[in-house]
A and B are shown apart, each in its own frame.
Chain A
Amino acid sequence: QKEVEQNSGPLSVPEGAIASLNCTYSDRGSQSFFWYRQYSGKSPELIMFIYSNGDKEDGRFTAQLNKASQYVSLLIRDSQPSDSATYLCAPSRGYKYIFGTGTRLKVLA
């Protein structure tokens, strides 16, 4: 079993729709959960993080965490073509981040 699992995609959504990105993790000791966006050929860029069960909203983005189910998700509302990128989920235990392979999102204009 992989430490962090993400559907590689591509996930295609029309412009203006909600994109839902999912991630499961195996380490129950994970404390914080990060979402990064990575455009092709560029480095990861932090979108947001969450460490408590429930929802956390930041603009068009909402992170959801369920530690009992070892599941974290990212919702992107009103998706734009500029959101087309790979989204990396990274649970962390202390200093060590464990990244998934990412989900490629395509927002169709």
Chain B
Amino acid sequence: ETGVTQSPTHLIKTRGQQVTLRCSSQSGHNTVSWYQQALGQGPQFIFQYYREEENGRGNFPPRFSGLQFPNYSSELNVNALELDDSALYLCASSGDSSTDTQYFGPGTRLTVL
């Protein structure tokens, strides 16, 4: 167990809807990274938040947005859901440097119908 928690565990949405996924980082960690993992693929980097600021972003459209709170928990928001957004969404927390080792939470399985 890494101490990183995510909610919900599973979610089913329809195309065009919006979704919010949540992540609580491990105690003492102030950095959260979000990844999307499609079936049979490796995790793809969406973005990272370090001390409440977006620290970097992967190749994802603006309808993927995020937020980090003063307690370092984080949200991932996805607007205008598409069928291809169906995936496992992973949150990883790391320590006091954005380059510290990342530890993953259990993930949220999103299905878009």
Contact = CB atoms under 8 A, between A and B. Distances in A.
A95 B48 contact: yes
B98 interface: yes
B24 to A, nearest CB: 14
B105 interface: yes
A44 B104 contact: yes
What is the interface residue range for chain A against chain B? 20 to 34
Interface string A84-109: 00001010101111111110000000
A32 B97 CA distance: 14
A88 B33 CA distance: 17
Given A34-B101, A43-B90, A44-B104, A95 B56 contact: yes
Interface string B33-63: 1010000111111001010000110100000
A43 B56 contact: no
A49 interface: yes
A44 B48 contact: no
Contact of B50 (A44, A95, A96): A95
Contacts of A57: none
Contact of B40 (A34, A45, A100, A101): A101
Contacts of B40: 101
Interface string A40-52: 0011111001000
Contact of A99 (B42, B56, B106): B42
A88 B42 contact: yes
Nearest to A104: B40
B31 to A, nearest CB: 7
A42 B88 CA distance: 9
B104 A97 contact: no
The residue among A44, A45, A46, A98 with the most chain B CB atoms within 10 A of its own CB is A44
Interface in A1-59: 4, 31-32, 34, 36, 42-46, 49
A97 B45 contact: yes
A6 to B, nearest CB: 8
